[in-house]
Amino acid sequence: FCSFIFIELLEYFKGLNERIRIWPPLKGMIGGVALVLLALIFSTRYLGLGLETISDNLSGTGGRWYDFLMKMIFTSITLNFGGSGGIVTPIFFIGSSAGGLLADMMGLDRATFAAIGLVGLLSGAANTPIAASIMAVELFGAEIAPYAALVCIISYLITGHRSVYPSQILLRSKSSSVLIESGKVVEEIETFEIQPRSKTLFGAIIKIVATIRDFTNRSYEYLMKKYRKKYRD
């Protein structure tokens, strides 16, 4: 879910930047002023790489509940308004912060959830479930492997056909129910068709809804014909 929000925020600020038709260096100044104001209102911890925050999350130290959301906003403004920087470290910041927040809400171990959140967000945002699962084992040990792999797969699937890398080429659809043209870069994918499989729960629900809708339409037409006939008589 966090990877979905992050990608959509990046796209939103990209579109906002394109709609502001002024001298490009002035756009950078606007973005810089916005970051300064946000840093003064909230905190300077969202500027830069945020390695200290990542370390705190992985060690189980509590942070602010909105850390992940603010880092999304800071990163989106920076990358779309002329700022220079990478996106992998912000992903680590956002993922570990979101995982820590979930742990606090559920009363579970914050460090473990921060680690799983870190690799889970990387998997969904960059479409790299295998690499993220292997990274979890390398960084946090084999004990976390089954949990991290499960989260990485789920994150990869629910993010859909999106990516923080717009030039990433889509080799295949993530679901046989989604008909989409493969071999295209992500940013060029504008439309897709959903064709639910009949032998799945989702397909069965769609079929039931279609049957109910068809029955309702037929009943309405029958009653209207009967009413018109009675009215004419």
pLDDT in tens, 55-64: 999 998 878 8
Return d(Cα 122, Cα 89) in angstroms, integer.
10
Phi first, then psi, for residue 109 (nearest 5°) are -70, 120
Kind and range of the H or E run holding 208: helix 201-232
Confidence (pLDDT) at 134: 94
Position 133 confidence tier, pLDDT thresholds 50, 70, 90:
very high
Q: Is the backbone of residue 105 left (phi > 0), alpha (psi -120 to 50) or beta?
A: alpha
Q: What percent of the chain has pLDDT over 90?
A: 45
- Token pair listed for 58: 């992985």
Return d(Cα 114, Cα 96) in angstroms, integer.
4
Position 1 confidence tier, pLDDT thresholds 50, 70, 90:
confident
Kindly give, in sequence order, each residue whose CB lies less than 8 Å from that of residue 54, ignoring residues fewer than 6 positions away: 89, 92, 93, 96, 118
Position 192 confidence tier, pLDDT thresholds 50, 70, 90:
low
Confidence (pLDDT) at 199: 63
Statement: residue 69 has pLDDT above 80: yes
Confidence (pLDDT) at 231: 62
Which of the listed ranges 25-34, 80-89, 162-171 does the model predict with the highest average pLDDT?
Answer: 25-34
CB count, 10 Å around CB of 147?
17
Confidence (pLDDT) at 178: 63
Statement: residue 227 has pLDDT above 80: no
pTM here?
0.78
Domain boundaries, the chain: 2-164
Per the CB < 8 A criterion, the answer to whether 14 and 81 are in contact is: no
Per the CB < 8 A criterion, the answer to whether 116 and 139 are in contact is: no
- CA 48 to each of CA 44, 63, 184: distance values in angstroms, whole numbers, following the listed order: 9, 17, 33
Kind and range of the H or E run holding 190: none
Spell out the CATH class of 2-164: mainly alpha
Mean pLDDT in the chain? 84
Statement: residue 3 has pLDDT above 80: yes
- CA 67 to each of CA 47, 74, 92, 101, 206: distance values in angstroms, whole numbers, following the listed order: 12, 11, 12, 9, 39
